[in-house]
Amino acid sequence: MGALPEEVFERELHQRLLSGDPVASQELAAAFLEPLVDRLRTKFQRLGDETLVLDAATDAVLGYAERPSQFNPDKLRLLPYLVMSARGDLLNALERRRRQAGREIPTDRVEDLLDARNSLRKEADPGERVAVPDLQEVVGRVRETITDPVDRQMVYLMAQGERRTEPFAAVLGIAGLDVEQQRRIVKRHKDRLKKRLARLGVELREPS
Amino acid sequence: MSQAERDRLLAWAARRARGRPAFLASDLAAYQGLHQLDEAQLAAWLGCTARSLADLALCRRPAADAPTFRADVEQIAAHVGVHAERLARLLRETGTVVALRTAPTRPPTELGLLLAARDRQDAPASTSPTEPEGKGGHADNDADEAPP
């Protein structure tokens, strides 16, 4: 593990970056790249692709060197700030990768959505009993609206009553993240899809 | 972490910095392209090791028209261990190319006059006592030596 630079050194370096010292950015990279990569490797140890970690770490360091005024050393130490910045980039990169992978998912999996029709039902207006519309129509509406293949697979799993995080994480391409991060990201996507389905007048039954 | 691993990380960052004009990496890449140089050749011309090129690439790019240009170049040269005068020359050349590429299109005659004027302006600079000289700030009279 790389040694953590001293706070005094951090503050001096920050001032030198602010004043335009031309070699401060090199010293920053030499001092912080190593501990930053170490931290990210620990946080994302199951990522399986070090390129993403190195790019995110590098971009965080170079970004700070370009815009040092965005960092306030009175509020935070530099390494946690760089970790936070790199983590955001890393999650964005994973999201882009997930979307790209989604475009490559075979369409026959998407068609499985139709098999989930028995788990879909029309959400009845409160206080009003109305006839449940034709399920085929509801499924057709879902298919027209949710066009992203990954979202469709998520909906398929939800409609199947799947509650485990792992299958959703696999679909999202985030299986390499730690369990807590997977759980948070999966929940966020499920909540988003539930809202979209609700706007279509559809709610998914939670398995008892 | 080993020195080799540290060097690998800095080399990675240096490559990544090529796309960011704030860093010297973009100038080094441009100069390599202009003169068809590989890293070893560029390092030899600048008087440093290939390993030092990564350090150089991660330094902030001095603005050619800034009053601190000479001092910045000398500071970088001393910090990394390269020929200051050659670094200054590299920066002027890549700066000119970038300026020409990004300048609005002018009539050929006007552009020719501007280039001629710039040549006249640049000519005495290689012998000017105010020009940064030498590797790491030390004197070295090889300003006119062409890159390999």
Domain identity same for A148 and A193 = yes
Among A96, A126, A156, give the residue marking a domain's end: A96
Pick from A4, A23, A38 the residue to mutate for testing the B interface (most B CBs within 10 Å).
A23
Among A96, A128, A151, give the residue marking a domain's end: A96
A–B: how many Cβ contacts below 8 A?
67
Structural domains of chain A, count: 2
Rg from Cα positions in chain A: 23
| Helix intervals (H) in A6-148 | 7-18, 24-43, 50-66, 78-103, 107-111, 135-145
Measured in degrees and rounded to the nearest 5, phi and psi for residue A122 equal -70, 135
What's the rounded Cα separation, in Å, for the pair A1 and A50? 16
Domain identity same for A78 and A129 = no
Pick from B6, B9, B55, B56 the residue to mutate for testing the A interface (most A CBs within 10 Å).
B9
Per-domain residue ranges of chain B: 3-127
Domain identity same for A92 and A111 = no
Enumerate residues 6+ apart whose C-beta is below 8 A from A32. Answer: A5, A61, A78, A79, A82
A20, B68: Cβ pair inside 8 Å? yes
Q: Which amino acid is at B128?
A: S
Please tell me which of the candidates B9, B23, B56 has its beta carbon nearest to residue A34.
Answer: B9
Residue A83 lies in a domain: yes
pLDDT at residue B125, as a whole number: 41
B138 inside 8 A of chain A by CB = no
pLDDT in tens, B6-27: 999 999 999 999 999 999 999 9
A25 inside 8 A of chain B by CB = yes
Residues of A with CB below 8 A from B68's CB? 20
Domain residues for the domain of A199 are 107-204
Domain identity same for A150 and A198 = yes
Q: Is the pLDDT of residue B29 over 60?
A: yes
Residue A1 lies in a domain: no
Please tell me which of the candidates B9, B55, B62 has its beta carbon nearest to residue A26.
Answer: B55
Pick from A4, A19, A21, A25 the residue to mutate for testing the B interface (most B CBs within 10 Å).
A25
pTM for the model? 0.60
Residue A69 lies in a domain: yes
B76, A22: Cβ pair inside 8 Å? yes
Domain identity same for A190 and A133 = yes
Domain identity same for A87 and A154 = no
Among A41, A69, A96, give the residue marking a domain's end: A96
3-class DSSP state of B60? strand
Give the ipTM: 0.72
Pairing of strands A120-122, A202-204: antiparallel
Q: Give the confidence band of B100 by pLDDT, cuts at 50, 70, 90.
A: low
Q: What residues of chain A score a pLDDT lower than 50?
A: 104-134, 208
B60, A38: Cβ pair inside 8 Å? no
CATH number at residue A50: 1.10.1740
Residue A64 lies in a domain: yes
Q: Which pair of structure tokens corresponds to residue B101?
A: 């590429």
% pLDDT > 70, chain B: 64
B9, A33: Cβ pair inside 8 Å? yes
Domain identity same for A112 and A91 = no
Measured in degrees and rounded to the nearest 5, phi and psi for residue A22 equal -70, -20
Domain identity same for A63 and A119 = no
pLDDT in tens, B30-87: 999 889 999 999 999 999 998 999 999 999 999 888 899 999 999 999 999 999 999 9
Domain identity same for A76 and A57 = yes
